[in-house]
Chain A
């Protein structure tokens, strides 16, 4: 018995030792980086003692060598802890459920924001807007509407990016085939068939599918899906999105034009010129297909195909490969091919912990911080880095990139309120300036509005979207006959109650002034 007690005591001692080890190694958090905090410019209102603010859910890892956050801390007189999650919101859900609510946190979708609002964890910012005049003035009424629930404001939106997307085409192949840049679907079909049959990659195999790309939700493909060019040419947006037609909100897939667009794609599939792996492609596999001559026409973004490092990859096998934006837009009697874009801009928003009302000093520091984020001075810091290190301003007032700016590849993750996108891209990716401008100013934009619509009770919008995308893919690839299209639409109304969703969309978009 005595021996047994000795054993028990030893076991307990071991566990206590381990716990103590833990306690010793536990730290209250980490700074994102150590760095020079001496540099200050015209400082905003700084707090008396450094207050520590945790920003949770930053979608990228901020390296230890980062000089931007330390500079920001110095300017604001606060300590900032950046907690990166790689964009995974399940961690936030656990923390919120456990009552361990970060001071400031990133919410990836408005639908999640609405759920946190119902849980009562979000601070209503409406009464604090006067303390953040820069933030208040930065966003439009429609952008604020995304984060407004029952009259309260529960998040801070992000400035939208410009359009980056258009059809890209192998210009060297067009020249070899002696074809013009197509401007109708018939011409596109002719070019695609020629690309398929000419064995332009010279490997002696019939393994080229002229048209390739990716497939998925408009928000997850950033509007860069393979068929955006087809849908927009028929005047419609992605199948799962809400668009406005004849001054009414409609689900794009239910429009007759959408059916026509799908039939058009199906015609291309039947001709064997569409990559059958599009639903499985991701950015990486697509780039490999483009580089190895397995595709000749892809819908995508200048940043995927025109940045220096991307060009190096795309020309690594065929040094003469010339991937350029397609200049002639495909035209039908329904529309001109272009790009789709969410009217509400970027989906992710930042929210503030509701419990901070009990810590007025900290809340004041956070509001002050956000107000500074929305200032021109902070825009320069978060977008371009530190003057003299990452950029300089020439005598004309133009921002000139210095070599060190190329190291700020994580910068997008700490642009909490977005950035002046055109200026940012034109400066940082100066080799793409022509394409950036082309995509932003010359491509017709077709807006979708689903992100503005709050999910009605009893309706599961993600489920509806998944079903639509899955079925449309089947119609495109012919695994479901187009004859069953009406049955499919009928199922959407009867089994998925999309009318309730569309009614909610009409109501919201009328309130916001999109529908007169």
Chain B
């Protein structure tokens, strides 16, 4: 299992795309939005939590189809399915690897972009915490979507269509945490609910994703 994690991380680093693209996309969103809505600080501060969360979510979406598609094409997935690791474990590890190369860098870069978007200083801590606890759910849900569409030729667009509605609860609670945190209100409820979604997804979705993979490998 650890070998799989190490391999996936190594591949992501060597291929270059992993970290870089998602982060660059996230940065672009944070730059383009002020250009679109105008430079007024108050307005930006107000919409910053939502923009940052939507940006992180879309950046995460960019690399989802690579979770299984590459291994499917070169035959590794067949071999992993016959290897002694349970396929559920493969899914969980691959989701973790995806989070380490997208979710985690996005979380760490977020405060910088928060500054660009005039997010009040009190909100930064909550921004990092909410992304830290919420982006794992995005990776696991994304791995489920990637497992559903792995054999398809034009799977990328379909993947977005399938995954984005599933992202709704995480997005709502995550952005709510930042919004409330920035306004100095209590964030307990949305933070707990979002963490519950992350934990629930991490516990249950690898099974659904492994089932989908087995169906697709038939």
A and B from one complex:
no
